[in-house]
Chain A
């Protein structure tokens, strides 16, 4: 079989050459990291002052972990390793307590990111002849722009449709004979469920492939999408701290997601003991950037759970494969592709005097899309008997939450004392979405 490939020299590089390249890139990354206030302190505490202190990749273990909290604490400039005028873009993501995180990129950083995305796209067999409709949000969310530039580099015709507006998506797909889309798996299921209502039959679409990511999904969901549209669907993994999409992607064989190890050092660790785990054992993905000068990150704890797939992929790529993401080692929720921490909801509710301290977050599937239900308790002392004031309150809570978490929840008001009490580890989140 003729394997489609973007950068054969790097993608098929022998392991020992790849590891030598990693070591050199890690030392370079340490030089960059030592320019940031955050890592100067963090690495000095660990006794690391010079890149030469790393003699082999094994010495990676002497480098302390970096966490999301570290990124929040360093916001906005504590992890910037170049002069601000050298940066050309930043992406922020919402934090759990209103404190966001930021990743800066130099022009070269964006160039590297785009190269990685181009590799992912080509690995699925997509080519410059394809028409690519990008159905994920453009903006601070990295999914839109990340795939966009990669697809342009491959030479595809890119339709920057962004997310939502199903009838327009279908019209674009019909008019331009879109062959490849990028979307969350739930959105594609929703899109299919909308076909009949929009008067569109699947054969009117020329769709061949879908890149699906931004939310964990099962093999079953992938097969369902493939069957419904009669296409191939490829799993995409990325996170904004590691640029965004383009970190790991399935090739035509769909046997795990190749992680580009010339750009990242990949580790799987036990989330409790933080000890590295061998191939095949499930743990937290830890990643080190090797190419990003503006915001280098060392041993970043992604909180995503997966394992390394053993053996070699028939495609011949030497970069190791991640199994599909199994879940999170923290309480982050993924709602229609958007990351949400329950604490974001809690913090906002605590600022609204008309609701009490107890609340319940309920996740449901409505059709193919996720529905976020936030149940709150009315504060009895502030009840005036005016039902309009209550309806306004419910709307206002919905708007305030939407501004905090970027997802509009359905808000419910309940009687005082009717929800689980906030003591110890009260069950605050009920996920009624089918498990995978």
Chain B
């Protein structure tokens, strides 16, 4: 299962670039990123080419950073592409806790990254419906 990195930062100017600066210095490539606002703090989620390396360098600089499994599903980059996947999830009563997506090849395919309660079971289900789940090697190498 692929992993994404969650980093805890103060909700203040100058904190986000402190994270990206450390990643740059260690040659870590960011594939996708989201920020959630929690009043005094924020949670930055990062999809990178080397999650464990990124966690190591960030915690080494004093950051609170944790790895969590993320389910990355390839979807068609056209109207209705995402809807197909979400219909499957809805049908099987699977709740999406958090998600983001990015286009890999414009008008061909995109990647949908999501957090669910049981990523292993969800991966099995989605695969059985003919969709492709990206393994960590493929995801990090995009």
Contact = CB atoms under 8 A, between A and B. Distances in A.
A413 B40 contact: yes
Interface in A157-198: none
Interface in B1-39: 5-6, 8-10, 15, 36, 38-39
A276 interface: no
A418 B65 CA distance: 15
A381 to B, nearest CB: 8
Contacts of A416: 62-64
Interface stretch (A26-34, A89-97, A382-390): A382-390
B104 to A, nearest CB: 24
A415 interface: yes
A414 B43 CA distance: 11
Given A415-B9, A418-B10, A383 B40 contact: no
Given A387-B38, A387-B43, A391-B38, A414 B64 contact: no
B95 interface: no
B66 A415 contact: no
The size class of the interface chain A forms with chain B is 10 to 19
A378 B41 CA distance: 10
Contacts of A375: 40
B68 interface: yes
Nearest to B67: A385
A412 interface: yes
Given A385-B43, A387-B43, A415 B8 contact: yes
Interface in B33-75: 36, 38-41, 43, 59, 62-68
A386 B39 CA distance: 15
Interface string A380-422: 1001111100110000000000000000000011111110000
Contact of B15 (A378, A380, A385, A415): A415
A413 to B, nearest CB: 5
Interface of B: 5-6, 8-10, 15, 36, 38-41, 43, 59, 62-68
Interface of A: 375, 378-380, 383-387, 390-391, 412-418
